[in-house]
Amino acid sequence: MTRIAVLVSGGGTNLQALIDAREGEKLADGELSLVISSRAGVQALERAQKAGIKTLTVERKKFSALEDFDTAISCALSEEKIDLVVLAGFLSILGKKTLKLFKDRIINVHPALIPSFCGNGFYGLRVHEEVLKKGVKVTGATVHFVNEIVDGGKIILQKAVDVLPDDTPEILQQRVMREAEWTLLPKAVAMFCKGEIK
């Protein structure tokens, strides 16, 4: 059994996609063992609790140093004997300790086709705002391994999504989630659990 921790900061729609995949037996031998939120009171925690998954809040704002926050995260993951860490709308940067301890065992879903619209400052609605500003005709989502470079790890899966003439950032965000993120992330997790990616 592959013990999975999902790190979140907000609504938890990608977490819900994983919960749904688990219930549909599409996560191979993956077990959603822990959800950690960097913010208190977010909907992602409610989703996890409703699904019977252990939750923990490690508030980033309560730590003055990234190193202390990172230590709290890595300790929580180690205590639960986590095999795979999934970043699903996690808006904090992981530090060196967690990256080293879980090398090649942390994956992230990014709402664009890396290497476009990625790196520092590119997250959430900002990504889709920039996509529309540039006037590109195709965007999408990427699941990739996490390393010390923001959005710089090896790409696992990508899926393209059309940008339509009347799109707003909010409409485009919903389409990218629905057509790409919510299918790619569970698929990548299942691939990891089956040993198909390393």
Total number of domains in the chain:
1
Mean pLDDT of 92-113: 96
CATH number at residue 174: 3.40.50.170
pLDDT at 198 over 80: no
In this prediction, residue 193 carries a pLDDT of: 96
The answer to the question of residue 178 being in a domain is yes
Nearest to 17 by CA among 51, 41, 42, 40: 51
9-28 confidence digits (pLDDT tens): 999 999 999 999 999 999 98
Angle at 57 (CA atoms; ends 53, 58), nearest 5 degrees: 135
Q: Which residue has the tokens 């530090």?
A: 95
Please count the other Cβ atoms lying within 10 Å of the Cβ belonging to residue 133.
Answer: 9
3-state SS class at 67:
helix
Whole-number Å distance between alpha carbons of 126 and 75 = 31
Within-domain flag for 174: yes
Q: Which tens digit of pLDDT belongs to each residue from 69-80?
A: 999 999 999 999
For residue 144, give the DSSP letter. E
Q: What is the mean pLDDT of the chain?
A: 97
Residue 198 counted as domain residue: no
Q: What's the pLDDT tens digit per position in 127-145?
A: 999 999 999 999 999 999 9
Asked if 168 contacts 131 with a C-beta cutoff of 8 angstroms, the reply is no
| Domain of residue 65, residue span | 2-193
Q: Quick one: how far is CA 141 from the chain centroid?
A: 11
- Asked whether the beta carbons of 55 and 35 are under 8 A apart, the reply is yes
Q: Is residue 102 one of the residues assigned to a domain? A: yes
Examine residue 66 and state whether it is found in any structural domain, yes or no.
Answer: yes
Band of residue 187 on the pLDDT scale cut at 50, 70, 90: very high
- Percent of all residues in the chain with a pLDDT value above 90, rounded to a whole number: 97
Residue 115: cis peptide before it, omega within 30 degrees of 0? yes
| Active-site hit among 22, 110, 128, 175 | 110
pLDDT the model gives residue 158: 98
Predicted TM-score of the model (pTM): 0.96
CA-only gyration radius of the chain, Å: 16
- pLDDT for 169 equals 98
pLDDT at residue number 66: 93
Q: How far apart are CA 153 and CA 144, in angstroms?
A: 6
**Is residue 110 annotated as part of the catalytic site, yes or no?**
yes
In a domain, 100, yes or no: yes
